[in-house]
Amino acid sequence: MLGAPDQMIGNMTTSTDVGATRVLQWMGVVLLSVGVINIAARNDGGSTALRAIMIGNIVLHVLGFGIDLYQYRLGFVRASGVAMGAVVHGLLTLGFVYYLQRLSSVAARPA
C-alpha cells in the first residue's frame, strides 16, 4: 500500500485514478501504525488497554471486509480483491478473537 499503491490498485480494483492510489497510501500509514501499536502491546499481560487494542483490531477487520464486499457490489473492487480481503481480514480476525478468548479465560481462572 505504501510502496507500490499502483500495483495494489491494479490487482484489487477497477480504478486507475491517481487519487485512489493516494488514499491507499494514507490507509497504508494507518495500518502500519496499528501494526506498531500491536507490536508494542505484545508483551502486555492482559490489561484493559490490551483488550481494547484487540477489540479494535477485530472491528477494523470485520468492517474492512464489509467495505470490501460493499465496494465489490458497486463494481469498484474486483473479485480477486474480495478474495484477498477475505483471507487477510478473516485470518487476522480469527487470530484476534482467539487471543482475546485466551485472555478472557486466563482472567477468569481463580488465583
**pTM of the entire predicted model:** 0.86
Q: Is 56 exposed, middle or buried (0-12, 13-18, 19+ CB in 10 A)?
A: middle
Where are the domains positioned within the chain? 5-108
Which burial class, exposed, middle or buried, applies to 75 when counting CB atoms under 10 A from its CB (0-12, 13-18, 19+)?
exposed
- Whole-angstrom distance, CA of residue 1 vs CA of residue 93: 20
CA 97-101-104 angle, to 5 degrees, is 140
For cell 482472567, name the residue: 107
Query: What span, in angstroms and rounded, lies between the C-alpha atoms of 10 and 106?
Result: 44
Q: What is the pLDDT along the chain (111 residues), one digit of tens a residue?
A: 889 888 888 888 888 788 888 888 999 999 999 999 999 999 998 999 999 999 999 999 999 999 999 999 999 999 998 999 999 999 999 999 999 999 877 766 665
